[in-house]
Amino acid sequence: MASTVARPSWAPGTAVPGIRARAVAALSRRWMARVAADPAALRATLGAYRDGEDNGEAAVFEQVGAHLPARYVRMCARHAADEARHAALFAAAVDALGGAAPTPARLDPLARLDAAAGGLLATAGDSREALGRVFLLLMAFERRLAERLPLIADGFAAARPELSALFRTVARDEARHIRYCTAVSQALIPDPDRWATLRDEAVAVEARAFAPYLFDFLNHILDIGLRQMPWWERLGFRLMARLGRALGRPLPVGGAP
């Protein structure tokens, strides 16, 4: 029998449905090219990555040793070290440009995601399955990053090749983190049907949380920079983000982590 198994909708690279992918790529390139040319917007965007990478996942990783063998603990240690390295790389990039104010707390991507999930992170110590659900939420977050960071790298390629290379390096790590989160969550939730149900829940929560977060982030950047952007383009990006928020299906452009 021929194999007709469809690519699962949660797989890396499918956070944006195919029909919208080209529009997202074109608009992302335009947005990031504008950001690259605007010091205030560039510093704020990189500052958001610096702060977003330094987001307290480590406390979750530390709980894995209570439930799983050492090889999973090592995986989590490597994951935590990657995130700390990312934060340092973005901090150095921001400092080289003159520094950036701390990103407003309301734009912490993981906190937004956790709030949408009903405060799942605080339940991580409750049980094996609770910890597994936290890792599925992290997987959904990594999946979004792995898809978006290469678009941001593309947008920076012409004007800021050094930043483009940085985003590409981080994107490769985030793609690896999807595999770590998948392995850890499957070990914590060994029943494949239960795991698939909870995975789909986590992916749906992430998609729901992302549209209003993106709306707020894009408006934050427009409020502090991009003054040289033509008025109709500013308006267009604001309207697009508003429409995405209203529909709960954003066109993911705007440079947010």
Site for Fe ion, rule CB under 5 A: 53, 83, 86, 142, 174, 177
Nearer to Fe ion, 133 or 143 (CB): 143
At its nearest, how many Å lie between Fe ion and the CB of residue 230?
Answer: 33
At its nearest, how many Å lie between Fe ion and the CB of residue 199?
Answer: 17
At its nearest, how many Å lie between Fe ion and the CB of residue 233?
Answer: 30
At its nearest, how many Å lie between Fe ion and the CB of residue 170?
Answer: 6
Nearer to Fe ion, 53 or 147 (CB): 53
Nearer to Fe ion, 27 or 140 (CB): 140
At its nearest, how many Å lie between Fe ion and the CB of residue 179?
Answer: 11
Nearer to Fe ion, 38 or 174 (CB): 174
Question: Three-class SS string for the chain?
Answer: CCCCCCCCCCCCCCCCCHHHHHHHHHHHHHHHHHHHCCHHHHHHHHHHHHHHHCCCCHHHHCCHHHCCCHHHHHHHHHHHHHHHHHHHHHHHHHHHCCCCCCCCHHHCHHHHHHHHCCCHHHHCCCCHHHHHHHHHHHHHHHHHHHHHHHHHHHHHCCCCHHHHHHHHHHHHHHHHHHHHHHHHHHHHCCCHHHHHHHHHHHHHHHHHHHHHHHHHHHHHHHHHCCCCCCHHHHHHHHHHHHHHHHHCCCCCCCCCC
Nearer to Fe ion, 38 or 51 (CB): 51
